[in-house]
A and B are shown apart, each in its own frame.
Chain A
Amino acid sequence: MAETPPRTKLTRVARGKRPKMFDHWPDDVFMSMLTAVTTELMVMRDRMDTIERIAAAKGLILKDEIDRFVFDDAARAEREAARKALGDRIFYLVLQQAERNKMPKRKG
């Protein structure tokens, strides 16, 4: 698929009050983070599983290669961007609160 930069950023914030479930707001944040971490862990497990199966089908033993692997700058940048995206998902609620704190009050 053809890339069409720059990409339009879509909002992650749903208008409407977010209810407080626990007595201490940070507990709500921890639950949000834990949910996101769980999701990412499941995604990562799926991806590793896919890699292992593809490699095995091709007769590759990946373990030694992984330990010896040296990153070039491009690979390092790509990995850094992926790590940042992962953090955005896991720290979603903290980041959202930061966004909300920056926004002027809406009517309704």
Chain B
Amino acid sequence: MKNQLHQHGMTPDLNHDEAAREEAVRAMRFHIYSQVSQGTRGYFSNVVAPEFEKANGRPLTDRQEVRAVMEARPYVQLHLSLQRSVQEVLWNTVVETVERQLPELNARARACARGLGSLTLDETLEMPRYVANVDIHCMPGGYGYDGGVPDSVAAGAIYDRGITMYQRGAEGNLGLSVIHYLRENFPSFRPAKILDMGCTVGMSTLRYCEAFPDAEVHAIDVAAPCLRYGHARAESLGYPVHFSQQNAERTTFADDSFDLVVSTILAHETSTAAWHNILKESRRVLKPGGIMVHADLPQFSDIDVYSQFLFGNETRYNNEPFWSTFRAMDLKAAMEQAGFAPDQCFLDLATMVDREMGFRNTKVTTAARTRSGQAAPGFGWGVQVGIK
């Protein structure tokens, strides 16, 4: 029953029932995200949307309207209720495993350092409100959670285990997708110094170490337990990363420090004001000619109205308060406001790739796919690209 894949120095021990419980949660997630979810999409296109059009003489075009008509339907209530409950069982499963062995995990983290990279914590750093006020993804305690224990890796261990249940074997794929995007669009680009903002436990960060082995890689986050865990994880896997506890809105790095500044699925967990600050800070720390790539899920304008509704659910059902606001933001204007020249910044879709650089399909239908009526080889991550 032991999961031998993707082991690293911080992988918690799983006893028989804990491993079985993880498999059970994966099985239920599969049911929800393939079967139940497809049922909801079919219900929308076959029943709810035609009924609305007949009654109102026009199609459904607005995600709020889709929400209103969908949430009134018992099947949709069942789907959303089940989804939320499985999410809670997922975290309960993980928390129990971590709780049982937290002192040992903390000790392992302290012993993991091999002097490859570094860990710099700042106890005085104030947690930004968007992280402090809500537990994103319903992860109990949130990113900064230490369980009241000094030198704790609690939130890092809980997050890492949770992610492996979300996407076993896909850890860091978003980083890979950004690297793939850079190779396609900037083939001669070889960054010597890289900054990963909002790295959490550094899953994507390590992909940059792999892809650019000569580069000096820095990773920042506001959450100490995640950084402790991420540092130990990176050291155990043999990757040199300099982790530091910093807010990406205002870092301590000097102007013109980095060739590449990246983030992966950070943006939608911040706030409008914070994201403006982070874009500005990204540009400040970039060297002239340096490249910024912030990757997140695509903007609402890139996906059909049903997918907008489906993704919009994350805001209400998975504690992602900024998700919908972010995805309706004018990011091109925001990059220009941050100082990027209009012809040196743009929004794009980066192909989703996995470790073997193969395409991965997902449940998302982009507007382009709907128009052509054909399945695309994958779906895109939304990337905000700026060149200083």
- Footprint of B on A, CB under 8 Å? 1-2, 4, 7-16, 18-19, 21-22, 27-28, 31-32, 34-36, 38-40, 42-43, 46-47, 50, 89, 92-93, 107-108
Contacts and interface: CB of A to CB of B under 8 A. Distances in A.
Contacts, number: 126
B167 interface: no
B250 interface: no
Interface stretch (B82-90, B195-203, B338-346): B82-90
A4 B99 CA distance: 11
B80 A21 contact: yes
Given A4-B103, A18-B84, A93-B88, A42 B27 contact: yes
A35 B83 CA distance: 10
Contact of B86 (A4, A9, A35): A35
B111 interface: no
A108 B28 contact: no
A10 B99 contact: yes
Contacts of B133: 15, 107-108
A2 B99 CA distance: 14
B24 A43 contact: yes
7 contacts: A10-B95, A12-B92, A14-B141, A15-B319, A35-B28, A38-B24, A39-B24
Contact of A42 (B24, B82, B84, B129): B24
A32 B134 CA distance: 21
Nearest to A45: B20
Contact of A11 (B1, B21, B93, B140): B140
B308 to A, nearest CB: 18
- The size class of the interface chain B forms with chain A is 35 or more
The interface residues of chain B, by DSSP majority, are classed as helix
A11 B149 CA distance: 13
B295 interface: no
B16 interface: yes
B255 interface: no
Interface in B88-145: 88-89, 91-93, 95, 98-104, 129, 132-135, 138-142, 145
A31 B78 CA distance: 8
Contacts of A8: 99, 102-103, 147-149
A14 B319 contact: yes
A50 to B, nearest CB: 6
A39 B25 contact: yes
Contact of B145 (A2, A7, A11, A16): A11
B17 interface: yes
A38 B147 CA distance: 29
A93 B139 CA distance: 15
Given A10-B145, A21-B84, A22-B81, 16 more contacts: A8-B99, A10-B99, A10-B102, A11-B140, A13-B140, A14-B140, A32-B85, A32-B88, A35-B85, A36-B85, A38-B28, A39-B24, A47-B17, A89-B89, A89-B92, A108-B134
B44 interface: no
Nearest to A19: B316
Interface string B21-55: 10111011000000000000000000000000000
Interface in B254-301: none
B82 A31 contact: yes
A4 to B, nearest CB: 4
B1 A46 contact: yes
A22 to B, nearest CB: 5
Nearest to B72: A23
